[in-house]
Chains A and B, each alone.
Chain A
Amino acid sequence: MWMWVVHRTTGVAIFFFLVVHVLDTALVRVSPEAYNDVIGTYKTPIYGIVEAGLVAAIALHAFNGIRIILVDTWPWALKHQRLMVWIVWGLFALLMIGFLPRHLSHVFGGA
């Protein structure tokens, strides 16, 4: 029932991230050093955690978006609403289990 809250908050968060993301990528037109400086901060532990949060938000919004589409168009999915929500969380968990160890070792492992 409160999945729509998740969908809205993640949607808004991704939107603002994307605005900032295009602005920081635009620094490649300023100078290589300006870009490298700013991207350098993305490799720090704090940003590493923010990136993990961002990936979580994208994964949730994306899987839940697909669930919304299916429930709207496919009677079977509508009938199995609750199962569909569990599948969203299941896929989300799998993705994070695959992603987090590797990402965190990039961020904290130094290499």
Chain B
Amino acid sequence: MTTAESKAPEVEPLRPIRSGRSRNHAEQWSWLFMRGSGVLLLVLIFTHLFINLFSGDGVNQIDFAFVAGKWASPLWQIWDFVMLVLAMIHGGNGMRLLINDYARRTWMRKTLKTLLAVCVTTIVVLGSLVIFTFDPCPLDASGDLLPGVPTFCEDVR
């Protein structure tokens, strides 16, 4: 008892998995990423919610013109882009951990992870395109402004 107490428990060295890759290192990165991105997301998301849901008229202020006003500034474009990428990777990686925990069968795990990867990639690509190809004054086929555009579009034309 006296000697055993002072000694650290013996840990079996992790066997490399079949691909020869060490899984351990990747999981260390995952662990660190979840913490780093978590802290950043706290600031990004709380600010997002404060501006869009709390200040001004709250939800009632949100419409196409509101989005146009925000994305006129590169600050909010980059803000939303970073938030999109970090949140989807953080959430996606979190979902991967849950799949590892709850999906018992190999084929089930594989299917769910493939679906997850497709979903995360699609949303990140779509969301990025939406932010950076945004057009505040879209026209219809005959070249007129679409209804619902912000008022300044009349002047810019």
Contact in complex: A22, B95 (CB < 8 Å): no
Binds A, one of B1-9, B62-70, B106-114: B62-70
Contact in complex: A103, B95 (CB < 8 Å): no
Residues of A within 8 A of B58 (CB): 102-103, 106-107
Q: Which of A25, A28, A62, A72 is close to B45, meaning CB atoms less than 8 Å apart?
A: A62
A26/B126 contact (C-beta < 8 A), A15-B94, A62-B42 known: yes
Chain B residue at smallest Cβ distance from A52: B53
A29/B130 contact (C-beta < 8 A), A51-B59, A58-B45, A107-B59 known: yes
6 A-B pairs with CB atoms under 8 Å apart are A18-B87, A19-B123, A22-B123, A36-B64, A62-B41, A69-B38
Q: Which of B38, B67, B84, B91 is close to A28, meaning CB atoms less than 8 Å apart?
A: B67
Contact in complex: A32, B54 (CB < 8 Å): no
- Does more than half of chain B's interface fall in helix, strand or loop, or is it mixed? helix
B156 at the interface (CB under 8 A from A): no
Residues of B within 8 A of A90 (CB): none
Chain A residue at smallest Cβ distance from B46: A62
Task: Report Cα–Cα, A69/B127, bound state, in Å.
Answer: 29
Task: Count A interface residues, CB 8 Å.
Answer: 36
Chain A residues near B (Cβ < 8 Å): 8, 11-12, 14-15, 18-19, 22-23, 25-26, 28-29, 31-33, 35-36, 39, 42-43, 48, 51, 55, 58, 62, 65-66, 69, 72, 99, 102-103, 106-107, 111
Contact in complex: A15, B45 (CB < 8 Å): no
B39, B65, B130, B149: which has the most chain A beta carbons within 10 Å? B130
Contact in complex: A103, B38 (CB < 8 Å): no
A16 CB to nearest chain B CB (Å): 9
Q: Which of A23, A28, A48, A69 is close to B35, meaning CB atoms less than 8 Å apart?
A: A69
Contact in complex: B59, A66 (CB < 8 Å): no
A1 CB to nearest chain B CB (Å): 17
Residues of A within 8 A of B119 (CB): 19
Chain B residue at smallest Cβ distance from A58: B45
